[in-house]
Amino acid sequence: MNESPLSAAPTAPPNSPPPAPAPSGGFTAWPLLISLSGLLGIVALFLEGRPDGNSDFDYPVTAEDVLGIDYLPYRLSGAIGYVLVLVLLVTAAVWRHRVERRFPGSVGATVVGYGVLATAGITALAYGWRGALGNYLPKAMEENTYDADGLYNYFVMTDFSPYIAFVPLLASAYALAWMAFRERLVSRGLGAAAGLVATALLGAVFALGVPGLPAMIMLALIVAGIWLAVGRSPITASRS
């Protein structure tokens, strides 16, 4: 006896994630939040004053040297860093709404979101310390709150904390590579570039011993946001 057409039709397994839509061209605005995060991160990162600004500076840096640092770059860095925190949180929320909930079976999408949230938390601390130093240095609003040794401690905390705040984004970069080659949710070109950048930065840390090098992933964020906005990736394809 022949099977009916209905009984012969294949059925999808229960609780399976929806199939990824075919990539489509065009422009999608929300990924530019990623680029904005990278741009703010670069600006906030390099707004700092250092006692070794002159090539003839003699090391080591002492507490007295910190008294000659200009407070204004630190004040601006702290404020822009806080704006960066807000943008990172909004970016994480939009990513969850646009990507994680749309593709609930994607492990990579979840890791991307976790990396952004972790970075936002560390960034709030790092740039809070920078802003505090900008408030306590000579000629600032609350100068003379701490002596030279106290300001020196703040300076040491702010020397690398804003740089290492972006380490969790290495996990997000590797997650993009996973989404590209395993889950087929972003373009392979973007996934390959993200994986190579993360590996290069992590490898440089091992080779050179400089813990702040992962901060350079901020430049990659600018590129990744634009790539997603104008490129062809299933996560930015139309829902229709």
Place of tokens 């380490």: 167
Structural domain boundaries in the chain: 25-51+59-236
Summarised one tens digit per residue, pLDDT across range 121-164 is 999 999 999 999 999 999 999 988 989 999 999 999 898 899 99
147 sits in the region (left: phi over 0; alpha: psi -120 to 50; else beta) called beta
Q: Could you say which residues of the chain have pLDDT below 50?
A: 1, 3-17, 22, 24, 240
Place of tokens 């992590």: 202
Q: What pLDDT is attached to residue 48?
A: 86
Residue 93's contacts (CB-CB under 8 Å, 6 or more residues apart) are none
Q: How far apart are CA 68 and CA 75, in angstroms?
A: 15
CB 234 within 8 A of CB 25: no
Give the per-residue pLDDT at 53.
61
What residue type is assigned to position 201 of the chain?
Answer: L
Percentage of the chain exceeding pLDDT 90: 72
What is the distance between the alpha carbons of residues 236 and 221, in angstroms, rounded to a whole number? 17
Contacts of 55 (CB under 8 A, 6+ apart): none
